[in-house]
Structure 1
Amino acid sequence: MFTEAQLYSPVTRGGDGAVRVRLSAEHPGAQDREYRARRDAIAALALAHTPGEPAPRVAYTEREHAVWRTVSAELARKHRSYACAEIRLAAREFGLPADHVPQLDQVSAALAPLSGFRYAPAAGLVPLRQFFGSFADRVFHATQYLRHHSAPLYTPEPDAVHEIVGHGTQLASARLAALYVAVGAAARRLRTDAALKFLADVFWFSLEFGVLRERGEVRCYGAGLLSSYGEIEEFRAARLRPLDVAAMGTAGYDITHYQPVLYCARSFTEVEEVLGAFFTGMDDDTPARCARDGRLPV
């Protein structure tokens, strides 16, 4: 999804047409031939998909459903303690199954009356401009594979849990979905790589790792936190800074570790107003204006 794509699992097609997902040596499933073959097969389904057609159905195994059940139960419990009210309301309306992995078309059907978003299959990393730009059409490109069964509460890359429990729950909120649409419109009008990266960095610190204050507590709304069994319990220990798009668009971060700095809104309304105005008004000159006039990280 982001510029740190080399940390995810590249998908390639050989001269013989065979699809291969290259897992890093540190990946929990790297030495599991059955899991690797499974990843290749699921990626091949996505690559064969024709846009506009129903998403391919994955015949999930009992082991994959068991991973989903384990993660769903743990995250549902943690959302009650750490997610903001808008997310908890969206989750209730979304009504994700807790006992089996939903198909992407089922996710789309659940989102349709809530925000109009639909899911499209992705074999792996989607080019940044395409990934963000599709939001303007209320389309979210999502992977369909599950993390390795040996580590159900950990994944080094976005999997179906992240895409559906994290982003899907956000997209079940019409208010958050409106921000996604604004991101998509911005991505389509931007022409420079510098501006696109600035947009991606603001997205990272907000719709991926956003937090806010609510009734005296810091709670999360970012998909990266909502889908992380470990980090959702640790984000309150991060250094909290005010919601500031100039700082968010220029701050460095390491996606392989828990985020040490987060940008905390004073309320969900501030999230809507500040991010909505930024995404709606962003252009190719925004990074330069922020460097010249904005408040930069200290």
Structure 2
Amino acid sequence: MFEETQYFAPVVEKADGQVEVRLASSHPGAADREYQARRNQIAQLALRWRPGQPVPRVAYTEAEHALWRLVTGELALAYRGCACAEFLRGAARLGLPADRIPQLDEVSGPLSELTGFRYVPAAGLVGLREFYGSLADGVFHATQYLRYHTVPFYTPEPDVVHEVVGHANALASDRFAALYRAAGEAARRAESADTLQFISKVFWFTLEFGTVYEGGELKAYGAGILSSYGEMAEFRSVNVRPLDVTAMGTTDYDITRYQPVLYSAESFGQVEDVVGGFFAGCDDTLISGLRAAAVD
């Protein structure tokens, strides 16, 4: 769970030790005290966790499991026409449960055997350098709460559906996992905040909101699209531009709305060549040059 998302619901620890997730007034669950308390409870589990300890398990309610079933069932139907082939291969390898929310350690077990990735809990804010740098070690920081029940098919926050359905299915693919690791290694090489921000934007427009043509049809491979039924219903009608690292790295975006601009590759192989090649070779000098070229 990376930093750009956190202005929407920052997590704070009060002087008395209580943890509070500060939902924005526009959040659909902002006035629901029960939901607020639930978010606080789950965030506290993650804040109390320390590396080397077992990942905390959340005692999900039947209502939460029912919401998972509803959302994942609709996503699975949408994948038939929207998801790229490599994502579907990863999903078939991982085999997430459709009837209940899996615990993060349940996801980490098979995932680590497949591609070496594992999940650790995130209460909320994870700085860019820590989030992306951890990918180089096969570590993914993930939230454990569920989106608000009145808006099941879209959330501007990365909830457990986004983290697990969107990202874990991709991370079960060796080809996707290599791209995530390369992004992490790029972040580790970044010395300046500007360079790290550029890398995070390329990640956003690819591994979060990337699209690709397969058989002449636009398909999605980004976790942000593939964990949102609403995004899948919209992504083919927006401004889809050719894959361009410089444009992606210098384009701003708003996480609280459906994305109006996306970038598409001609094939998943092009994603690996262009995006993977960028992650593998980028450093502060290269990105400084790309930024300068974008201004010119």
1:59 paired with 2:91, answer: no
- Structure 1 residues not aligned, in runs of 5+: none
Map 1:126-137 onto structure 2 (within 5 A).
Answer: 126-137=126-137
Counterpart in the other structure of 1:181: 181
Counterpart in the other structure of 2:121: 121
* Distance of 1:159 and 1:9 partners within structure 2: 12
1:201 paired with 2:201, answer: yes
Counterpart in the other structure of 1:140: 140
Classify the secondary structure of the residue corresponding to 1:230.
Answer: helix
Counterpart in the other structure of 1:80: 80
* Distance of 1:61 and 1:21 partners within structure 2: 19
The structure carrying a bigger helix percent of its residues is: 2
- State, as a whole percentage, how many aligned pairs show the same letter: 60
Greater alpha carbon shift after TM alignment, 234-243 vs 164-173: 234-243
* Distance of 2:262 and 2:286 partners within structure 1: 21
* Distance of 1:233 and 1:193 partners within structure 2: 35
Classify the secondary structure of the residue corresponding to 1:137.
Answer: coil
Counterpart in the other structure of 1:111: 111
Counterpart in the other structure of 1:68: 68
Q: 1:92 corresponds to which letter in structure 2?
A: A
* Distance of 2:121 and 2:26 partners within structure 1: 25
Counterpart in the other structure of 1:28: 28
Classify the secondary structure of the residue corresponding to 2:113.
Answer: coil
1:233 paired with 2:233, answer: yes
TM (norm. structure 2) is: 0.96
Counterpart in the other structure of 1:284: 284
Q: Deviation digits for residues 158-200 of structure 1, max 9, x if unmatched?
A: 1000000011111011101001111111111111000000001
Give the number of equivalent residue pairs.
296
* Distance of 1:2 and 1:87 partners within structure 2: 21
Classify the secondary structure of the residue corresponding to 2:126.
Answer: coil
- Structure 2 residues not aligned, in runs of 5+: none
Query: Residue 10 of structure 2 contacts residue 22 of structure 2 at CA under 8 Å; is this kept in 1?
Result: yes
Map 1:42-57 onto structure 2 (within 5 A).
Answer: 42-57=42-57
Q: Deviation digits for residues 46-101 of structure 1, max 9, x if unmatched?
A: 01111122210000000110110000000011111100000111111110101100
Greater alpha carbon shift after TM alignment, 117-126 vs 27-36: 27-36
* Distance of 1:45 and 1:208 partners within structure 2: 26
The alpha-carbon distance between structure 1 residues 4 and 174, as it changes in their structure 2 partners (threshold 3 A), is same
Counterpart in the other structure of 1:264: 264
Query: Residue 3 of structure 2 contacts residue 126 of structure 2 at CA under 8 Å; is this kept in 1?
Result: no
